[in-house]
Chains A and B, each alone.
Chain A
Amino acid sequence: AQKITQTQPGMFVQEKEAVTLDCTYDTSDQSYGLFWYKQPSSGEMIFLIYQGSYDEQNATEGRYSLNFQKARKSANLVISASQLGDSAMYFCAMRDLSGSARQLTFGSGTQLTVLP
């Protein structure tokens, strides 16, 4: 069974600073994918970034980067130059790539607040 752990229920960051949101995972699968989603107060789930377990380089997407440390089973999200609009709940998720359904297992989330 797969498990995602997000140990920071809430985080604060000053506008324009960088912030790291932690995510650790547990799986016995060799092939898997790691995702980050953003959920603003309006409630929708927005896909941010993806990292495959066999990808050698850390994924980047604009101001988002994923710090992937396979041996430590961590997949931390780094947001550079935080903006007020980054205030939201952030979820780390994992997908088993070996099955056909490829459902996601989510962590409990981190509420990020960007301070002006």
Chain B
Amino acid sequence: DAGITQSPRHKVTETGTPVTLRCHQTENHRYMYWYRQDPGHGLRLIHYSYGVKDTDKGEVSDGYSVSRSKTEDFLLTLESATSSQTSVYFCAIRGLAGGTDTQYFGPGTRLTVL
């Protein structure tokens, strides 16, 4: 258990509204990531962070912004949600598993944009 929680776990919203998803970790990991999962695409990286206030874009960053004001929290914001952003969102942290530098994932947030 890498101590990652995501909130909310489920959300339904309307097109054009702002939405913020929260990822919280308890183990002081430096690197955090946001992915989205869609059928036929696997997981795709949206943004990542390599420290407080240090973030960078991933493969599918358009329409998303992130913030990290504390080590333990990484926020993903949809400024104006669109139906194409209906997806399952996973947060991940970079950590060690038996000596392997890997990523641990949170439980996911299912977002539906109507």
Q: Please report A residues at the B interface, Cβ cutoff 8 Å.
A: 4, 6, 33, 35, 37, 43-45, 47, 50, 91, 93, 100-109
Q: When the two chains form their complex, are residues A104 and B103 in contact, meaning their CB atoms are under 8 A apart?
A: yes
Closest CB-CB distance, B58 to chain A, in whole Å? 6
B100's partner among A50, A100, A101 (CB-CB below 8 A) is: A50
Does B74 touch A at the CB level, under 8 Å? no
- B interface: dominant SS: strand
Q: When the two chains form their complex, are residues B43 and A104 in contact, meaning their CB atoms are under 8 A apart?
A: yes
CA distance A101 to B33 in the complex (A): 9
Closest CB-CB distance, B74 to chain A, in whole Å? 14
Q: When the two chains form their complex, are residues B48 and A47 in contact, meaning their CB atoms are under 8 A apart?
A: no
B42's partner among A47, A100, A107 (CB-CB below 8 A) is: A107
Q: When the two chains form their complex, are residues A44 and B42 in contact, meaning their CB atoms are under 8 A apart?
A: no
Chain B residues with a Cβ closer than 8 Å to the other chain, count: 26
CA distance A104 to B31 in the complex (A): 12
Q: When the two chains form their complex, are residues B105 and A108 in contact, meaning their CB atoms are under 8 A apart?
A: no
Which residues in B have their C-beta under 8 angstroms from that of A102? 31, 94, 101
Supposing A44-B107, A47-B97 touch, asked if A100 and B50 sit within 8 A by C-beta, the answer is: yes
Q: When the two chains form their complex, are residues A47 and B102 in contact, meaning their CB atoms are under 8 A apart?
A: yes
Known A47-B103, A100-B50; further 20 A-B contacts with Cβ < 8 A: A4-B42, A6-B42, A43-B88, A43-B107, A45-B90, A45-B92, A47-B97, A47-B104, A50-B100, A102-B31, A102-B94, A102-B101, A103-B48, A103-B58, A104-B43, A106-B43, A107-B42, A108-B40, A108-B41, A109-B42
Residue of B at shortest CB range from A109? B42
CA distance A95 to B40 in the complex (A): 20
CA distance A4 to B102 in the complex (A): 17
Which residues in A have their C-beta under 8 angstroms from that of B94? 102
Does B79 touch A at the CB level, under 8 Å? no
- B35, B102, B108: most-surrounded residue (chain A CB, <10 A): B102
Which residues in A have their C-beta under 8 angstroms from that of B22? none
Q: When the two chains form their complex, are residues B88 and A104 in contact, meaning their CB atoms are under 8 A apart?
A: no
- B56, B100, B104: most-surrounded residue (chain A CB, <10 A): B100
Which residues in B have their C-beta under 8 angstroms from that of A50? 100, 102
